[in-house]
């Protein structure tokens, strides 16, 4: 096995035994990026000098016997997580040259754990998209087939992990933006409970929905990275003061008697691809063989989730993105008046999908339409949360597909926003309810496209998701398969 192919867990053991040094692993990853990323487009910035300096510092720490949980591990970040002294563009022209003066809380926590930062990863502009085609700079391609989308908006993060361009990455999930690209790229992705991981320093899309989480090569790595970034943060008013368990302690527990909820609204959805449905049902059957028990559950308001989400998320986006006016920071285009400067700056700085969502959100919040749209969407959100609470009274984990189809061709849906939005139908309800969700590989289509299995849990019960995922992973080999590059 080459060094760039290591998992976080494998690399940590080798580093602590002094069989390899952090600089060697970091160099291997940087060389891999240099050789392959022109074809994949996962990175917007590679921080080679910073990474090597951090790797050398990590080697000194390891030599002293004081290493942290992730010391010397090369990771990369979705480019909407603020990094002091390193550009944070959000995949947008309006922030093309923006360099934050501070680190996001998750960046500080990774630094405390000893992580080596190798770069910032591509994404749909301001996280608004499901394919990573809406980046202002270039699309990201799926490592399994460069003609396919990698998923989005954390497409760069998923593609980088899948192609061994880093050992692990962070993404953000507002409506499925960690889980869906993880499924399409054949990696593990976890959206924590809302409030489990600090959002301080995460550039906001929809503040009541956004959550940072890990994308990794296997479930053990997911537990390790989540443990490093989770926990209360006084700088984030939505952060929950709740103790963080040792997530790796859940992995060795069995799943005998665990109740798996199968939502009839998900499995009976018109448009669910046959190969995806078959792979997910085969995964459920495998879990039953391992001792889990399945129960039917209902999430009756699922059909309203997409409509509610695409009112609430754009409404919050229209408010959050109002700060990009050409005055305080970011791009500025000249205008004869203040209003003209705003118009010129935003027209040049925001892409078509961002402008579309701002317009939708502004309309839904405008006088005379707030009650008709936003208030009703918020009421539907409450009903969806109640659906999950009632379902979890009958089961421990909900098991479902991640997306209706496997990855599709680049450009296939770019001119049909509605079809694009419908690809999030299985993932966005978890964001509306604030519950944790996870994707892990569970199969492949006949033509070799990865398929993901989605696990949804009770609030702050990420440990149970990791436990179930780890047991499935140990009984299968889907996570071991790699794209040929």
Active site residues: 78, 153, 177
Cα(270)–Cα(254) distance, integer angstroms: 34
The sign of the torsion formed by the CA atoms of 321, 325, 328, 333 equals positive
Q: Tokens representing 128? A: 């608004």
The sign of the torsion formed by the CA atoms of 140, 143, 149, 152 equals negative
Cα(295)–Cα(230) distance, integer angstroms: 31
> In sequence order, what are the beta bridge partners of 399?
455
Cα(280)–Cα(325) distance, integer angstroms: 46
Q: Give Cα separations from 249 to 187, 198, 204, 263, 455 (angstroms).
A: 21, 22, 32, 29, 19
Helix (H) or strand (E) holding 379: helix 376-392
Q: CB of 171 within 8 A of CB of 154?
A: yes
Cα(122)–Cα(60) distance, integer angstroms: 31
Cα(138)–Cα(152) distance, integer angstroms: 13
1 exposure class (CB count in 10 Å sphere: 0-12, 13-18, 19+): exposed
Q: Tokens representing 328? A: 């305080």
Q: Tokens representing 397? A: 């984990």
Q: Give Cα separations from 385 to 4, 379, 461, 469 (angstroms).
A: 41, 10, 16, 23
Q: CB of 131 within 8 A of CB of 414?
A: yes
Q: Give Cα separations from 240 to 91, 132, 236, 460 (angstroms).
A: 29, 31, 9, 10
């Amino acid at each position: 096995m080459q060094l760039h192919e290591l998992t976080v867990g494998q690399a940590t053991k080798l580093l602590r035994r002094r069989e390899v040094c952090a600089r060697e692993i970091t160099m291997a990853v940087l060389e891999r990026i240099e050789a392959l990323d022109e074809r994949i487009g996962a990175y917007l910035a590679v921080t080679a000098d910073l990474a090597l300096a951090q790797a050398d510092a990590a080697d000194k720490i390891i030599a002293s016997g004081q290493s942290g949980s992730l010391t010397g591990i090369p990771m990369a970040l979705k480019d909407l997580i603020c990094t002091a002294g390193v550009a944070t563009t959000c995949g947008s022209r309006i922030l093309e040259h923006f360099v934050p003066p501070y680190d996001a809380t998750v960046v500080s926590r990774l630094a405390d754990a000893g992580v080596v930062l190798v770069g910032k990863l591509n994404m749909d502009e301001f996280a608004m998209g499901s394919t990573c085609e809406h980046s202002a700079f270039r699309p990201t391609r799926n490592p399994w087939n460069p003609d396919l989308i990698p998923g989005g908006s954390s497409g760069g993060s998923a593609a980088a992990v899948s192609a061994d361009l880093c050992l692990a990455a962070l993404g953000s999930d507002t409506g499925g933006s960690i889980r869906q690209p993880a499924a399409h790229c054949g990696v593990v992705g976890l959206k924590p409970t809302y409030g489990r991981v600090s959002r301080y320093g995460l550039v906001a899309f929809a503040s009541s929905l956004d959550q940072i989480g890990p994308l990794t090569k296997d479930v053990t790595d997911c537990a390790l990275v989540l443990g490093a970034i989770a926990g209360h943060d006084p700088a984030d008013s939505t952060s929950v003061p709740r103790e963080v368990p040792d997530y790796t302690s859940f992995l060795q527990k069995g799943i005998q008697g665990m109740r798996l909820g199968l939502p009839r609204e998900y499995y009976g959805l018109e448009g669910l691809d046959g190969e995806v449905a078959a792979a997910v049902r085969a995964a459920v059957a495998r879990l039953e063989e391992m001792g889990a028990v399945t129960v039917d559950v209902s999430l009756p308001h699922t059909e309203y989730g997409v409509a509610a989400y695409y009112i609430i998320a754009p409404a919050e986006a229209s408010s959050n993105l109002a700060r990009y006016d050409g005055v305080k920071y970011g791009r500025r285009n000249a205008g004869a008046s203040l209003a003209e400067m705003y118009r010129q700056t935003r027209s040049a700085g925001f892409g078509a999908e961002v402008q579309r969502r701002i317009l939708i959100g502004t309309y839904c919040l405008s006088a005379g339409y707030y009650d008709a749209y936003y208030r009703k969407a918020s009421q539907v959100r409450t009903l969806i949360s109640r659906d999950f609470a009632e379902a979890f009274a009958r089961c421990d984990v909900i098991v479902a597909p991640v997306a209706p189809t496997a990855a599709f061709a680049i450009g296939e849906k770019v001119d049909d926003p509605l079809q694009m939005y419908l690809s999030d139908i299985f993932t966005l309800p978890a964001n509306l309810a604030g519950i944790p969700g996870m994707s892990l590989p569970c199969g492949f289509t006949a033509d070799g496209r990865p398929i993901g299995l989605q696990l949804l849990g009770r609030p702050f019960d990420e440990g149970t998701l990791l436990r179930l995922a780890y047991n499935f992973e140990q009984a299968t080999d889907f996570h071991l398969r790699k794209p040929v590059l």
